[in-house]
Structure formats: C-alpha cells, structure tokens
A and B are shown apart, each in its own frame.
Chain A
Amino acid sequence: MLNNNTLIEATDLSRHYEVSNGLFGGKSTVKALSSASFHLQAGSTLAVVGESGCGKSTLARVVTMIEPPTAGQLILDGHRISGDISLTDEQRAELRASVQIVFQDPFGSLNPRQSIGRILEEPVLINRPSVSPTQREQQAREMLAMVGLRPEHYDRYPHMFSGGQRQRIAVARALMLEPRILVLDEPVSALDLSIQSQILNLLVELQERLNLAYLFISHDLSVVRHMADEVMVMYLGRVVESGSAAAVFDSPKHPYTQALLSATPVADPTREQTRIRLQGELPSPLNPPAGCAFNPRCWRAQDRCRVTAPELSDEGTHIVACYFPLHD
C-alpha cells in the first residue's frame, strides 16, 4: 500500500540508450540508469549525488517525463508510468504539471526575448487555457512576490537580472502550475557563494510553505548535507548507497561514497587531511568494467568484485551495494 504522502515511487527504474558504432560497428547499449529504486514523500528532500556520467541527470529526465523509462515502474502522484503502458496525452499533461524542473544554468534556461511576465505565464497559457489573462497576470505577480522579486520586475527581460535573480525566476516559473514535486538539477552550482545561500534559503522556505517534495541533484556535498533528508549516491548508472542523510554522511559504507566525501574540500584549514586517493577516472558507460563498476578504482576490490556486480543490501542503518562494505 502506498502512503498518501508518497509522491514518487520508483522500482527498478532503468533507462538505456542505443548508440550506433558507425557503419559496420553495429549497435551497443549505454546503461545510463539501471534499476534505481527509491521513494519520495511530500515535504522531504531526496538528494542524488555522483560525478558526471553517473546517471543523475538521466534520472531527472525520466522523473520529469521528458523521457520514458526503458524498464521498471514509476508511480508519480498515484499514477503509473512505465515503458509498456501509454498514457493519453491529457493524462500526461496533467501529470507533467505536478512535476516541474529547475535547471542548472539560469543564463541558458530563460528565453532572452520574453519578458519575465510572459516567461511565468507561459506554462499556464499552455496547460490551463481556461484561465483568463487577468487571472494569469495576477498569478504571475503573486509568484514574483513569493520568490522575493519586486512587482516592477514583471515587464523586464532576463538580461537585466543577475544570476541569483534569474534562478529565482526559474524557480517561480516551475511553481506556476502548483506542482507537488520539484526536480532541482544543480540549482546553485552556477551561483556565487553569497547568492547561493539566498537561493538555498528560498528553497527551504518554499518547501515548508508549500509542502513540496524535492529531488535535489547536486555534486556539492556540503550543499547536499544542508538540504537533504535522504541521500542516494550513484556511480555509473547504478545506486551504490542510499539512506538517510545523517547515516550516509556520518558512516559511509561504500568505498566510493567514502572517497567522494574525503575528496570534497572542507572549509576548515585546521582539519587533518585524510584523503583517499582515487586512481584513474570514471570508466566509459559504453564499456563498463565487469563486476562492480567501481572495482578498477577501488582499493578494497578482490576477485569477487571483478566478476559479479553486488546488489543493494541492508547494512543496518542504510542500504549499500558492496561485497566488502566499510565499518566504522
């Protein structure tokens, strides 16, 4: 039974891409996302962390229904979405309104030729044609106030705003259709430190006020630690560790999570540096290593790791996909 508050329920969600290897190379499959399972409750934040190519953006695209999953099941706000069942266009549009996304780059995600008012009203114009123009405008003006912008900004254009203000506009646009789930794809990584805290505060405030569920995608672990309730660590398309933020950060069990935590610079010059040196780089998703994807870079890898990939298993406080998890 699903809890009433569960907005996303994903089971073994996968997204594979077919890529051609040139004229005679045939086709091969990129497993951008393989069997990810998680759920997200209203009013809480699930953070997805990992390096580039780990599948976190693919996950965002699947959850926002930009792309259908190739396998597995996704239940969004009580509606089932999977590769085999096709929804009608109407159902799809309705569901899309409940999941909205904020992109990383506030300079590229706003149309420079539209005024802020027009940018904010467009989602309503498309999805709710019955709303009258005056009502739309009123909604947009209320939204401006909600994200901390002034009413006179309604008629201005994106180039007149700084990065932080643009990100506020992007958040406002995402909220226009009153979604219940907001996917935040690196929302603060393009911003300066002093602006970053303003946007994070805004997000926290909006979540409390509107009881939003956040799928927070980031590579900045200090931001994740501040925002997240639950954390999911991904490596090469697979979830390697998942659990409550406190459990994952305080007692990381997967070697990759530990390496990631130790590689993150901490703003404290007096701290002893105990850095785990990871050799090499992320392998290509086209040709992943046999067994556990992390084994070529792992210092604990043994023969078993090079043969079969470990499944996620319960390790007391949270779940980990490793044969030799670390203990404190």
Chain B
Amino acid sequence: MSAKTLYDKIWDAHIAHEAEDGTCLLYIDRHLVHEVTSPQAFEGLRMAGRKVHAPDKTIAVPDHNVPTTEGREDPAQMTEESRIQVGALDKNAKEFGVHYYPVSDIRQGIVHIVGPENGWTLPGMTVVCGDSHTATHGAFGALAHGIGTSEVEHVLATQTLIQQKSKNMKVEITGKLKPGVTAKDITLAVIGETGTGGGTGYVIEYCGEAIRDLSMEGRMTVCNMAIEGGARAGLIAPDETTFDYVKGRPHAPKGAQWDAALAWWKTLYTDEGAHFDKVVTLRGEDIQPVVTWGTSPEDVLPITGTVPSPEDFEGGKVEAAARSIEYMGLTPGQKLTDIEIDTVFIGSCTNGRIEDLRAVAEIVKGKKIKDGMRAMIVPGSGLVRAQAEEEGLAEIFEAAGFEWRLAGCSMCLAMNPDQLSEHERCASTSNRNFEGRQGYKGRTHLVSPAMAAAAALTGRLTDVRDLI
C-alpha cells in the first residue's frame, strides 16, 4: 500500500460513493449549524418534504447575529433581523429534531468553540458547517471545512457532500517560537508567505516542532485561518495533547469505545514518504509578532515594520495595495508602532478561547487601558466565560477598563450592534480585515490576543515584547 497523508486517510475512510470521474460522496460525521446560513436550507427541506437524515449528528447554535449584552434572552433586545434569524433557528431545531444550544444555555457560543468544547469534534471525523472558519476543527485531525447554504441543505438531506479531492500541502514550522510570539502570529505569517490564494485547491497539514508544542487552543487558532490562505481545510495530526483535551468531554467516547477510538486515532498521521503537492517551511525562530496593515489577511508585517508603498508590489496587487492604504488611512513609510488605535476587540472563533483570555490577562493585570479607548472582550462561549470568571480573569479585565461581554461572534463580523463607526481603527484578534468587515469604513488591524492587550494599554499598535 502506498504511503498516505493524514488527509488521504480521513478522505478514504469517508467515501460513501465514488463515480468514474472521481466525484465522490463524502460522508459527514458532524454538521454544525448556525442562524445566518441555515434558514434557506431548512426552508428548502420543508418545501421538498424532506427530513434531516441524521439529526443526532447535527448540532445547531446561534452565534453570528446574537447580542452580547446582558439581558439578551429578551427578544426586545435583538434587532429585527436577529430576532427573525434566531427565531428561525429555534423553530427549525425543534421541528427537525437536531441538537440545540439556545441563547439561554450556558453552552451557547461560537459554533467552532462549542463543537470542540463539548466533545462533538473528534479526530478523524469529517466536520462541516455553513461557515468558512469550520477549518478550526482541523486542529483535532478532523477534515473540516466551510460550505454554502445549498450544501448545508444537501448535508441535512443526505449526510453527504459531493466533493472532488483537494491536493495535499504541507506547512512545516520548525524549531521553537520566541517569547511574545503566538499561534496567531504563526498563522498570519504563513498567509503573509503564501498569499490569500496560495492554498486554493489544497488541504493544508500543519506540522513541525512549533506546531507540536502548541496547545489545542493554539492549534485551533492556526487551523482557523487556513481558509484565509485559501485552503479548503487545515489539519494537524492528533497526538497526546489532542487526546488529553478530548478525554472526558460530554460527547467524547467513554470506556471500551474510548479505547477503540484511541486505537484508530493513533493511526492518523502522514506516513513516511507520502506525497505533498506543495511544501512551505518557516523557521519558528524567525516568526515575529505580526500585524496586518491592509485590507487582506495577506497584508502581514512584523510589528517592527513600516507601512509599504504600492510600488513594492506587482500586477493587480499594486492597485489593491493603493486602495488598502487609502482605505486604512495610512502613509507609506509610517512605522506600524506609530499607528494609533481607537478600539480593541478580543474574541472570535480565532481567539475567543480560555488560553487567549489568559494571555490578555497576563498583559493587562493591574494596569489600565488607555484613556478614551473602547475595549471589549467577548468570550467564545458561555463555558469560556464561566471559566474566565472562575479563574479571576474577568475581574482583571473589568478593573483594567474592558467591557466583559456574553458569548457570540460579535465584532468579528459585526452583524450585531458591535460595530466600528466610520474610520474607527481597531486592533482585533479576529480573522478578517476586509473593507467594512467590522463596520462601514471601519479599519481593522489583525493581531494576537497579547498584541491586542498591549495596544489597549498604550493606545497604539505595540510590540508586546516591550511589555513582557
């Protein structure tokens, strides 16, 4: 038998049907559903008189468009569209009998945090969701990717997806990270290297010592942004770190089933000599704390850098860079550490987990955020929030001047009222710095939680290494 990659192994274990032209029906083990990309899919089922094929493998939770302020169970607190979308999910979850965590449930949160936290996401699974950041679950060695609403309907109806296999890409991060450098810096540095289209057509496997050394939270941050590099999915082979995280979670296997699962999970690695179509290698020691200057996640520079000039680029990127620099209100040659920040947002499926909040607390403990700074922390789930309160982190945040919110996607995509105003500049731990992403004409700089915390204290983009 020829050597296989991790992706090959998971793919092969999930083919329900293969046509002569290589088009496959890929069986889906977990389908995560949220309120924005599912209503039209459930409506489609209803109109065709179809049922959900595997309701026990389908988990729904509202996250994109829920308020993150106290008292939100009261529908009067919601905007009209939020009421409609959350109301539709409530109704659809009941009618079709899928697992559901409503807004009032402590387990509610961002779908990509809820899945792993409750043990729904396990190694070797196929996981899909009508959200591009489904790539997050790849941290467990699960093949996980975002799908559109038509595909959501397809999975609801058949528990399969029509797929062509992607190519294999290896991203290796060798060696150790330097102090102040985090998983977020790794994933942004990779996109800076490959570009936002560099992963198109590929599934990425992240490997190397710096990846092995990461916690599950850090691995989720890395895989989360595989999509920003254009890849269908990101994967990390499961190991003891993974198994320790999964064990004991509510929906993880127990007893004899755990032993059987573990035996299979331990076979989920890329065989020696397996073929990768593309290989990218970065030295962990070379990665610095980074920040984005433009309106594409590939616009990445070390915090010690300066704003580039459009002439530094080639082809269509020249116009795009000029447009970005103007949109962001920057001047070529300006030091990144001279850029003043109005707002700090900490949260999202990229960086809304407990370890992210601990990293923030470490920087801001006993300090105050800059006068006039608007700073909010939105935990990724009700369970993360409860844990942060138990560990005393919430007190640290509130004493420092942060708003301490309820769980949701919040200002990462700014569908709810958590938005930037025109020209408001934000250091954000989220995943996209697109034009208008966090609010009309809002300006986003993507950073790690530690870097966001540093910016909140100083009022400008700051090298966190100066504060530790």
**Is chain B found bound to chain A in the same assembly?**
no
Footprint of B on A, CB under 8 Å? none
Footprint of A on B, CB under 8 Å? none
